[in-house]
Structure 1
Amino acid sequence: MAPLSPGSPAPPLEACGIDNKNSCPTIWFCARMAPSKTHRARNDPMAPISRRTLLGAAAALPLAAPALAAYPEQPVRVVVPWNAGGLADVLIRILAQPLSAALGQSVVIENRPGANGAVGTQAVARAAPDGHTLILANAETHAINPLIYPRLAYNAVSDFTPVTLFARGPFALILRPGLGAEDLAGFLGLVRSRPGQVSFASWGIGSTSHLAMEALAQQAGLQMLHVPFTGAAPASTAVFGGQVDCMFLNAGPAEALARDGKARILALGAAERLDLLPNTPTMIELGVPVESGNWFGLLGPARMPASIAQRLATVMAEALAAPALRAAFRGQAAIPAATSPEETGRFIAQDAARWASVVRDLNIRLE
């Protein structure tokens, strides 16, 4: 597939009301900005979990007691709208045991991939709003899909009840063995010398991995060939197998590939270096102002009682505060975070607004 052509420039920095380079919660990407302008939003809902968050969530529970008396009455099903083995799937399986213990019911993980996450997400939108069926959401399901699918079978706002955001996962730029670039500068020079010939994989048209590379191409003046796959696993397999040249991959799986000698990591799309990859620079450090990655959260169907959403958010925050679980997340290069249902809804709305200009610039429309 030929690369999508860049469109008009993004809105000015001031439009997003962000001024602190160390507090930006949006791991979509901050392309087209000078390195000194990389930023995080005020009142960051994805900031590390605070004591205030836990206490505030707990304080709301007495008001919800009548509706909670019988919840949960059966196993809680979390639909993961992507293939098994991706970062979202791994993280929710890490959370399943502590959530099950706290709720007194099994937490069942069900993978329902398809259409950039739309298939599984639509199924949850139609489920009973009793708190026993939840969707694992991210930027693709609730910010990007509504922009690229004109006939999307769900409304990302009105068909869901926000529960909580629980993690963000920065991307790493990886190359296939033998491509011939030793660092980011060498890679950019290589791509410029072969316009339209260097290929990149993604886990689907309009996915965050796709748009992150398009952002890099816009920022650095590159022409690349997009090769979409149906998931992160087949996309990364194509890279380390030598069929595709590069991709943006979640940093945890990227670290494992690099450790096994299957791929080279050039740089991180994070705002700062990660514990798992302390010697890997960020693209911002290297003078390329692109920040890329994703966020992950839980939502229920519309009309799910607020008391149940709050109960789930509280249980999630308590689980995410455990040192062992936080260490497990760090081992996947994921950054734990917890938000209230209200904060979650606001964050998703803001993220959708940010993605709108990106998708419009690239003119992506899917049936």
Structure 2
Amino acid sequence: MPHPTRRALLRAATGLPLAAAMATPALAAFPERTLRIISGFAPGGLNDIVSRAMAQALTPVLGQAVVVENRAGAGGGVGATAAARAPADGYTLWMGIVDTQAINPNSYRNLQYDPDRDFAPISLVAHFPFGVVVGPSQPRLRDFEAMVAAAKAEPGKLTFASWGVASTSHLAMERILRARGVEMLHVPFTSQAPAMQAILAGQIDCMALPAGGAESLTRDGRSRCVAVIAQRPLEILPGAPPVNTLGVDLQSGLWKAVYAPARTPAPVLDRLNAAVREAMRAPSFVEVVRQQGATPQPSTPEELADLGRSERVAWGAVVRATSAFVD
């Protein structure tokens, strides 16, 4: 008569399926190796800056190295797809943004991921306000009203940049222009950094971009921030009025949040939520976020899930109004 195996005895003794019995020690020890944060955008932009600050702050909290992997393309869709298809073991995190989690599902006709089905929410990071910057090519556009007047005088002649069709930077600017009844020519770039370079070089007239990037463009005085997309004036962009005081009902900028692949075990998600929230209290992380005109906003997974659903509805209306669809 064959003797029972050690695994069979273990299964019988615990009354649990073998997979659950064998997984318990692994969960208790998590993490045991390097983790990665996938960023869906190229180095140099806000997503890369925040992802690297998060990785640095998470490393001592988790006791393991955390690295950033940039997977740019398709408005963040390349990185989102890679993160969604990664093993659901907690070692891959995704720095999602409003573009990837709320706008792309409305604008991309052949999206390769589902923001609800493919991701487990961990925590919101922050809402980052925008600044509207006019570059050195247009010294006459000294303020917001001058920009609007010039656009009305020559419809479609002034240009504005974004980091892609149907991106937050594109749709935010479209909402501002439509609210004031003016037209500009949209020039999309592959990411934030080359769009900013085009502004500085005088190739593009203006752009709506995160406040930290706007501040860096205006340091030498050649470019000007003529408005901010925020509920109140920003310390890092003094003198720039909120657009809601300029006849534009728009207050939302760009939010970022941490996710894991769907089906990541609940104990691992709990550990990651606690770790991310602790990392956001690190002085180094707080300072990076402050330099972008924001403050850390940790959340529960449920709060982040609710935010994603409500934002998909809100931005879906903007996509349809502007016909910002991507094949």
* 2:204 counterpart of 1:251: no
* 2:135 counterpart of 1:176: yes
Distance of 2:112 and 2:282 partners within structure 1: 38
* 2:87 counterpart of 1:128: yes
- Correspondence for 1:149 among 105, 108, 117: 108
- In structure 2, the partner of 1:10 is none
- Correspondence for 1:272 among 220, 227, 232: 232
Q: Which has the higher helix share?
A: 2
Distance of 2:73 and 2:207 partners within structure 1: 20
Is 1:171–1:251's contact at 8 Å kept on the other side of the alignment? yes
Q: Percent identity?
A: 43
Distance of 1:116 and 1:146 partners within structure 2: 11
- Correspondence for 2:220 among 249, 260, 283: 260
- In structure 1, the partner of 2:45 is 86
Distance of 2:235 and 2:156 partners within structure 1: 35
- In structure 2, the partner of 1:325 is 285
- In structure 1, the partner of 2:125 is 166
Distance 1:262 1:75, change over 3 A: farther
- In structure 1, the partner of 2:64 is 105
AA at the equivalent of 1:313: N
For structure 1, list consecutive stretches of 5 or more residues without a partner in the other structure.
1-64
Partner secondary structure for residue 284 of structure 1:
helix
- In structure 2, the partner of 1:219 is 179
- Correspondence for 2:154 among 194, 202, 214: 194
Distance 1:313 1:275, change over 3 A: farther
Q: Which structure has the larger Rg over C-alpha atoms? A: 2
TM-score, normalized by length of structure 2? 0.89
Is 1:252–1:334's contact at 8 Å kept on the other side of the alignment? no
Is 1:310–1:340's contact at 8 Å kept on the other side of the alignment? no
Distance 1:66 1:278, change over 3 A: farther
Distance 1:357 1:75, change over 3 A: same
CA RMSD of aligned residues (A): 1.5
- Correspondence for 1:230 among 190, 195, 201: 190
TM-fit CA distance, 1:262: 4.2
Distance of 2:279 and 2:86 partners within structure 1: 26
Distance of 2:309 and 2:297 partners within structure 1: 18
- In structure 1, the partner of 2:313 is 353
AA at the equivalent of 1:256: S
Partner secondary structure for residue 132 of structure 2:
strand
For structure 2, list consecutive stretches of 5 or more residues without a partner in the other structure.
1-23
Distance of 1:111 and 1:68 partners within structure 2: 27
Distance of 2:106 and 2:127 partners within structure 1: 21
TM-fit CA distance, 1:277: 2.4
TM-fit CA distance, 1:67: 6.7
Distance of 1:347 and 1:289 partners within structure 2: 20
* 2:298 counterpart of 1:338: yes
Is 2:57–2:282's contact at 8 Å kept on the other side of the alignment? no
Mapping of residues 303-318 of structure 1, within 5 Å: 303-318=263-278
Mapping of residues 18-97 of structure 1, within 5 Å: 68-97=27-56
Is 1:171–1:249's contact at 8 Å kept on the other side of the alignment? yes
AA at the equivalent of 1:156: P
How far does the alpha carbon of each residue in 1:231-285 deviate from its partner, in whole angstroms, 9 at most, with x for none?
0111111111111110101110111110123421101101112232243321223
Structure ranking higher on relative contact order (CA contacts 8 Å, 6+ apart): 1
How far does the alpha carbon of each residue in 1:143-193 deviate from its partner, in whole angstroms, 9 at most, with x for none?
111111121111111011111111111110001114111111111111111
TM-fit CA distance, 1:323: 4.2
Deviates more, 1:94-103 or 1:321-330: 321-330
Deviates more, 1:175-184 or 1:127-136: 175-184
How far does the alpha carbon of each residue in 1:284-304 deviate from its partner, in whole angstroms, 9 at most, with x for none?
233433324100011111101
How far does the alpha carbon of each residue in 1:63-88 deviate from its partner, in whole angstroms, 9 at most, with x for none?
xx977412112111100000111111
Distance 1:341 1:67, change over 3 A: farther
Partner secondary structure for residue 299 of structure 2:
coil
Partner secondary structure for residue 190 of structure 1:
helix
- In structure 2, the partner of 1:293 is 253
Distance of 1:189 and 1:278 partners within structure 2: 23
TM-fit CA distance, 1:365: 2.1
Distance of 1:242 and 1:311 partners within structure 2: 48
* 2:325 counterpart of 1:362: no
TM-score, normalized by length of structure 1? 0.79
AA at the equivalent of 1:271: Q
- In structure 2, the partner of 1:115 is 74
Distance 1:150 1:101, change over 3 A: same
Distance of 2:266 and 2:238 partners within structure 1: 41
